[in-house]
Structure 1
Amino acid sequence: MVKFGLRLDQNKSNEYPPDAYVDYDKLKEIIHVLAKKKLAGADVNFREVSLTAPPPTNAAGRQLTAADSPITEEDFYNCIDSNLSKVENFTLQKVTDLRSQIASLEKEVNGVSVDDEKAKDAIRDRTDEAAKAFLTLEKYVNINFMAFHKILKKHDKNLPAHACKQFYINRMHNQAWVRGDYSDVVVRLSSIYSALRNDHTAEENKDAAQSFLRSTTKYWVRTEDVSKVKYAVLKHLPVFLQKTSTGESDSQLTNSVYFDNDQLELYHGRLDKTPGAIAFRLRWYGAGDPKMVFFERKTHRDTWTGEASAKERFIVDESEVKAVLNDQYPIEQKRAEMKTKKGATDAECDDWEKLVREMIQVVQVKQLVPTMRTQYMRTAFQIPFDATVRISLDTNLCMISERGYDTEGGAKWFRDPDKPLSPNEITRFPHAVLEVKLELGGANSEPPQWVTDLQNSGMLYEVHKFSKFIHGCAVLMPEYVRSVPYWIDDASIRNSILNSGGGRILVPVDHQTGVGPGANEMYNHLLPFGNVKDPKLETKGRTANTISLIETSNKTTGANYYADDDDDNIEMMMGVQGCCEDTCAGWLFPFCSGYNTEVLAPTSVQKIEPKIFLANERTFLHWLHAGVTLYTIAAGILAFASESHSVGAHWYAMALLPISLGFCLYALHLFLWRAEKIKTRVPGRWDDSRGPLMLGSILAGVLFINFVMKCREIRRFNEIMSHEL
């Protein structure tokens, strides 16, 4: 069995000296000494104390003194405290130095000439160094963060009577080096790169409907890779800050309230990808109560029809939301204001009015009510007012149930944020969500090369058609859903689903056996990879070690991707000269530097259209037709061959018969093989380059032999005729 863990290359040097890390060896030695003494904990049942009673004694009846116990539990606590302070001070010092370095770069970039490419290249190199220094610091923080978790767990495991992990974990999470937000570094780096690229802001689109067509690809990003992904993107796109943003952070709080009816009609329509299925939501940006609210409608359309899914929206003031939902919105008055105050054309007003009336109608007809809310911090990368290429990264994602509260007849459209939520009313998603959005119909419909490089970097995990709305409804309302999305069986999100009380969608339990096949077995018609639960385990490039690690993880740790008691790995991180590399060995290893495993790129999902199935059937019929034709020829030769030529003709016909049978069997095999490829959408070639070559070569060989035999017969016939003459 391959042991899960983090192996580091000892031949590579750390960026920071070993004494900057947690002194893991010393803490572990203290635990070993205390564990050998088998210290007893205080008796919690004793509620009285005597000031004249003697102190506790050991087994020999002698009093325990400081000399008998040179290392005490207090030494462990003091060592933990000193290491926490050391890591915090080191981190803050590095951040201070980094901010000073960025400030110097900002001054230089403001004074550089636009045409001075040499100076710009020098500044760009120094900016790259500053960005890599920040990523190195984050790596340092993650290593120490994991080390504290492991040493505290080891302490509680060996000394259960003196458990202290929960106390110190809570204390660590409140320290600046863990809870600090240093996203201002990302914003300032983005501004420097944007100035070096000389980005031009596009003209603002004042279309009231703000409708546009775009294609979106979604990925999961591990928390420890968020900064790396941000750096990879901001080198090419600037951080897009909303007008309400203070500029101190690269992200903005985003809330979206999704509407649905009691039957979850919109949920099941979006899940089944029914043509014309819609998602209806109200969105606002920024913390606090909403001021400007976006009414948005997303419509799904199949790409094979020649149409693209669309997102349409219009903006209203928060005080007007209830009027829109209750069909009391003054459309004619707002239309007149658009023409007089904003100078909108009649066509723009018509489009806006049509959209508003359609949205009001769908709320009334389908009886939509607030159902589920998504909340996250969104970092958008985009040239302002230019939707050609846009990338958004959503972190701290959570879904909140909007059901179960009194709407007061439509007077309220989202629950009171001050009221506490029960565990089954909120689910926190463990990964960040990256969306790559490309405008359709423009010159840049294909992703640029740097986007392709990012997709193949190993930091992204593509999740085809992932939806926050669908995930939230499935987890928070499992008793109302009739089917669930395919990604809920992913081991990395299993704990978050269980913590929210959505375990019933993971393993449907048989009441007789007490076990179930799993949700993906029950809803395999929704899987994008057919019956393959994890297609990336079987695709080209996956090593045996990686597969073993995945199996070990699923059986032992569930969503935990590294062993809990791998002391050797932590010691390498803390004390031995070993450091993490920028590249990661696939999705499994958070700090996996130096691990002797092939770097794995995420597998893209192939797009499927109905005409592909028809093409497969057409190819099957072509091969079958060729086999039947050969059989007909062979049967005709056997039936009509003359007596004088019966031997050669019969051998020729008997040679064609198995070839015709081979054509028919190959047609059936190729049809079934390609149908499975199409169903599972496995990347790679879907054609067979060897089968046609083999069959064609055999047929050509038989024809050549027949040709040679016929030539010999003609030659012999000519010789006979010449002798007779």
Structure 2
Amino acid sequence: MRFGKTLQSSIYAPWKSHYIDYPKLKLLLKESDRSSDNDEVEEWTDNDEGAFVEELLNVQLEKVHTFQVEMYKQLRERTSKCESKLEELVASTEKDKSKNAGDGAEAGVGLAGESTQNQLKEVLKELDGITREINELEKFSRINFTGFLKAAKKHDRKRGYKYRVRPLLQVRLGALPFNSEDYSPLLYRLSAMYSFVRQNMSKESNGRLQSPSDAPLDGEKYVSQKFWVHPDNLLEVKTYILRRLPVLVYNSQASNVAEGTQNDPTITSLYFDNQKFSLYTQKVERKPDASSLRLRWYGQLTKKPEILFEKKTMREGDNSEEIRFQIKEKYVQSFIRGEYKMEKTVQKIQHRQGHNNQHAEQFVQNVDVIQKFIKENNLQPVLRANYTRTAFQIPGDNRVRISLDTNLVLIREDSFDSERPCRDPDSWHRNDIDDAEMEYPFNRIRKGEISRFPHAVLEIKVREGTSEKSREWVTDLTDSHLVKEAPRFSKFVHGVAENFEDYVNSFPFWLSELENDIRKDPETAFEAEQERKAKRAEDEFAVGSLMGSRASPAFKPAIGSPVGRAMLDQSAGKAATKRALVPGLTPAVDDAEGEGESDGGGEPTGKQGAHTLAGLRSLFPTFSTSKYGRAHQQGPVQLPPGVRHPGKFIKDSGPVQVEAKVWLANQRTFIKWQHISVLLASLSLGLYNAAGEANSVARGLAVVYTLIALFAGAWGWWMYISRSKLIRERSGKDFDNILGPVVVCIGLVIALCLNFGFKV
């Protein structure tokens, strides 16, 4: 797509007049859309050059920069006003409480009052507006910055034989750095206000605050997902998350919520391995008990930060065990060599808690484990990972934890090459980096020793047992176009694969994807995700019901993802109804919290009665008691205002596509019935021929067996035809029907009992 069209599609309507006038610049450059065969050679004069340079560097650049500065100033002022409103609100509430207490009256309801809640809602609405315009301002800066570079490149390509404007533009862009604005301080202030408003507005039905209902428990487990985020989508992902979770601070102070002046911390991880890269190989090949070892600290090493020694071992089922302890910088080298065993730290623990303290014994055991691990594997520092981390979590509520790592740099830290080592073999870290306090982008590092990761790394951890409602917004984010899933991504593995290519023979699967553009169109990504979910749920239902499974689809078609909807409504005139009901399956009943789940292979408690009832009712094919069927019986879904029914679902719009195993399962069932019919017919024929004309009882029973055989054959054929029709129609009815087996079994039991009775 040409940049002119890209610019037009990216314009935020209220700010339309403040964007770069790209068509005017093309006109001044005498750039037309005519084909090259009809182009007439026009002379480019000094006046033409002066007019173009004046328009580009003075008029357009000043216009864009002035608007960006003014808009950012307005956003800061609006943010300050919101902070003042909240401060006044808290002050007035405290004043009312003091007055009521002084009068001997009962304390007021504080922030729970109706008028206070209305004010909080107004502040929240204003915060949403500020957040939205911060995103638009960042896009405004980026697209205009690109426009100036495109215009200069086009000029130099056409008129570069005599005039060059790119160097002048770079000087002006350096003096007016509208594209390098740091929005982090403003985002931290918004995060703090969002946290305050959320805590005082999120009332449950009983009037209680939605405090961390899931208190931290020992042995808690998390479901972790990793994603890549393109730099163009980074700010939008940040603002989307901070509306739900506040930003956490990594410092030694007591504050847990970020302040406006707090910067994201820089984290350095120093990974260990040997010259054979045994730990790397185990991790890539996902071998059992694969371990990794690293040193980790925050900020610059010259500031004497806390250093953590961490050993992580992967266990079965993606579970892991972690050993960590704190160590001082001056003891790291002697510890790695095995000369120091943390005796001073052990003495301090024993002095405070006693010699027979269990904590001291565990600490000594952890030290021995790590030192033994280093010695047995001949480990040394080989890779440095440096990145800036933004963490999101509600203080005291660990149900959802999110970290966003940006500016990820992976640097060689080995001393394998004795002639030209990256690190002094007598030191445990690179002194050239730490002593000089190098920071991103580490331009002084030699080429071949550094790899800069092009994306941000987003990790989302959701605690097991968290309700569907609590993590719904997380699902909207992970399903959106803003992120790309990167399962099992590892900084250590990626760094070794990039910087030690000649040392290793196996590589992670994601390396080939780095060359691709991970950005996706919002609408296309949303529709593709919903189609994929609908098809997966449909296949699960069809196969599960046919094979006797009681599993029902877990997919509930969304009525517009908030993330996707926010992106689709960027341009003016795009109505919210563009996100109409996703054509897919009828929403299934969410049974995640209402019914217990079995820990083993048996039937879930609380479901046995319902299962039996469903089996009896399945005698009538038109009446389904499954969760999917009950969802259909509940009548039409009530759609929100402005959302209309699509009329025809995506699943019904094209040719019927059902996996072959569904048809084959139906055919296998039909063949089984015919097999039973043939066996019973053979039994009845043999009995009839062996009985003779005088034995009327045996001949009568043979006729009974024949009738049962005919019923079994007819039933199998009828069920085969009926189920084939249900599959083609994608019906929500149950596929099971126990009437036929019951009739055959009862008929055989009666016939055998009569046979036995007459014989006796």
> Shorter-chain TM-score: which interval?
0.5 to 0.7
| Counterpart position of 1:479 | 502
2:49 aligned partner, one-letter code: E
Q: Which has the higher contact order (CA 8 A, sep 6+)?
A: 1
Gaps of 5+ in 2: 94-110, 201-209, 254-258, 416-420, 439-443, 519-524, 534-562, 583-599, 602-661, 690-698, 748-760
Task: Decide whether aligned partners of structure 1 residues 348 and 227 sit closer, same or farther in structure 2, where only a CA change above 3 A counts.
Answer: same
State whether structure 2 residue 85 is matched by structure 1 residue 85: no
1:189 deviation in Å?
0.8
Deviation per residue, 1:276-322 (Å, 9 max, x gap) = 2122111111145353211122222233xxx8324442222222221
Structure 2: distance between partners of 1:11 and 1:412: 50
1:421 deviation in Å?
2.2
Tell me if structure 2 keeps the 8 A contact 1:631–1:657: no
| Counterpart position of 1:129 | 129
| Counterpart position of 2:632 | none
| Counterpart position of 2:452 | 428
1:379 deviation in Å?
0.8
Instruction: Indicate which of 279, 288, 293 corresponds to 1:280.
Output: 293
Instruction: Indicate which of 360, 377, 381 corresponds to 1:349.
Output: 360
Alignment of 1:286-435 (within 5 A): 286-287=299-300, 289=302, 291-303=305-317, 308-340=319-351, 346-384=357-395, 387-404=398-415, 405=421, 407-414=423-430, 416-417=432-433, 418=436, 420-435=444-459
Task: Decide whether aligned partners of structure 1 residues 408 and 433 sit closer, same or farther in structure 2, where only a CA change above 3 A counts.
Answer: closer
Which is worse superposed, 624-633 or 357-366? Answer: 624-633
1:583 aligned partner, one-letter code: A
1:171 deviation in Å?
5.7
1:135 deviation in Å?
1.8
| Counterpart position of 2:479 | 456
| Counterpart position of 2:79 | 102
| Counterpart position of 1:225 | 233
Tell me if structure 1 keeps the 8 A contact 2:271–2:293: yes
Gaps of 5+ in 1: 39-58, 496-534, 544-579, 602-610, 613-618, 667-686, 708-725
Structure 2: distance between partners of 1:28 and 1:311: 60
Task: Decide whether aligned partners of structure 1 residues 594 and 7 sit closer, same or farther in structure 2, where only a CA change above 3 A counts.
Answer: farther
Tell me if structure 2 keeps the 8 A contact 1:284–1:293: yes
1:540 deviation in Å?
5.5
Structure 1: distance between partners of 2:527 and 2:515: 15
Say which SS state the counterpart of residue 583 (structure 1) adopts: helix
Task: Decide whether aligned partners of structure 1 residues 463 and 4 sit closer, same or farther in structure 2, where only a CA change above 3 A counts.
Answer: farther
| Counterpart position of 2:151 | 151
Deviation per residue, 1:154-203 (Å, 9 max, x gap) = 3344345355547745863674212232211011111212222349999x
Alignment of 1:228-239 (within 5 A): 228-239=236-247
1:384 deviation in Å?
4.7
Tell me if structure 2 keeps the 8 A contact 1:458–1:585: no
Task: Decide whether aligned partners of structure 1 residues 78 and 622 sit closer, same or farther in structure 2, where only a CA change above 3 A counts.
Answer: closer
Structure 2: distance between partners of 1:591 and 1:430: 28
Tell me if structure 2 keeps the 8 A contact 1:34–1:71: no
Structure 1: distance between partners of 2:351 and 2:181: 48
Task: Decide whether aligned partners of structure 1 residues 367 and 150 sit closer, same or farther in structure 2, where only a CA change above 3 A counts.
Answer: same
Task: Decide whether aligned partners of structure 1 residues 583 and 688 sit closer, same or farther in structure 2, where only a CA change above 3 A counts.
Answer: same
Deviation per residue, 1:405-454 (Å, 9 max, x gap) = 264444232352259323332222222111112456x8779963332333
TM-score, structure 2 normalization: 0.60
Say which SS state the counterpart of residue 423 (structure 1) adopts: coil
Structure 1: distance between partners of 2:685 and 2:736: 25
Structure 2: distance between partners of 1:288 and 1:352: 25
Tell me if structure 2 keeps the 8 A contact 1:638–1:650: no
Task: Decide whether aligned partners of structure 1 residues 479 and 629 sit closer, same or farther in structure 2, where only a CA change above 3 A counts.
Answer: farther
2:490 aligned partner, one-letter code: S
Tell me if structure 1 keeps the 8 A contact 2:4–2:22: no
1:74 deviation in Å?
3.6
1:699 deviation in Å?
11
1:390 deviation in Å?
1.9
Tell me if structure 1 keeps the 8 A contact 2:265–2:390: yes
| Counterpart position of 1:584 | 567
Deviation per residue, 1:680-724 (Å, 9 max, x gap) = xxxxxxx999799999789969x99xx9xxxxxxxxxxxxxxxxx
| Counterpart position of 1:264 | 277
Say which SS state the counterpart of residue 73 (structure 1) adopts: helix
Structure 2: distance between partners of 1:237 and 1:421: 37
2:54 aligned partner, one-letter code: N
Tell me if structure 2 keeps the 8 A contact 1:300–1:310: yes
Structure 2: distance between partners of 1:312 and 1:591: 51
2:477 aligned partner, one-letter code: L
Name the % identity.
Answer: 26
Structure 2: distance between partners of 1:536 and 1:338: 55
2:284 aligned partner, one-letter code: L
1:338 deviation in Å?
2.4
Structure 2: distance between partners of 1:270 and 1:634: 57
Say which SS state the counterpart of residue 293 (structure 2) adopts: strand
1:381 deviation in Å?
1.4
Task: Decide whether aligned partners of structure 1 residues 3 and 328 sit closer, same or farther in structure 2, where only a CA change above 3 A counts.
Answer: same
| Counterpart position of 2:678 | 634
Structure 1: distance between partners of 2:404 and 2:367: 29
Alignment of 1:499-510 (within 5 A): none
Structure 2: distance between partners of 1:438 and 1:319: 38
1:348 deviation in Å?
2.5
Structure 1: distance between partners of 2:432 and 2:343: 32
Structure 2: distance between partners of 1:107 and 1:337: 48
1:149 aligned partner, one-letter code: L
Say which SS state the counterpart of residue 393 (structure 1) adopts: strand
Structure 1: distance between partners of 2:285 and 2:405: 25
1:22 deviation in Å?
0.8
State whether structure 2 residue 13 is matched by structure 1 residue 14: yes
Structure 2: distance between partners of 1:633 and 1:240: 70
1:478 deviation in Å?
1.9
Structure 1: distance between partners of 2:379 and 2:457: 27
| Counterpart position of 1:523 | none
1:8 deviation in Å?
8.4
Deviation per residue, 1:483-505 (Å, 9 max, x gap) = 2222222255589xxxxxxxxxx
| Counterpart position of 1:28 | 26
Task: Decide whether aligned partners of structure 1 residues 693 and 355 sit closer, same or farther in structure 2, where only a CA change above 3 A counts.
Answer: same
Structure 1: distance between partners of 2:527 and 2:393: 35
Structure 2: distance between partners of 1:108 and 1:692: 53
Tell me if structure 1 keeps the 8 A contact 2:22–2:151: yes
1:461 deviation in Å?
2.0
1:366 deviation in Å?
0.9
2:313 aligned partner, one-letter code: T
Structure 1: distance between partners of 2:271 and 2:363: 21
2:142 aligned partner, one-letter code: N
2:283 aligned partner, one-letter code: R
Tell me if structure 2 keeps the 8 A contact 1:120–1:196: yes
Structure 2: distance between partners of 1:449 and 1:537: 18
1:87 deviation in Å?
1.8
1:31 deviation in Å?
2.1
| Counterpart position of 2:531 | 541
Structure 2: distance between partners of 1:444 and 1:118: 28
Structure 2: distance between partners of 1:691 and 1:3: 47
| Counterpart position of 1:190 | 191
Q: How many residues align?
A: 553
Structure 2: distance between partners of 1:318 and 1:464: 34
| Counterpart position of 2:177 | 176
Tell me if structure 1 keeps the 8 A contact 2:676–2:712: no
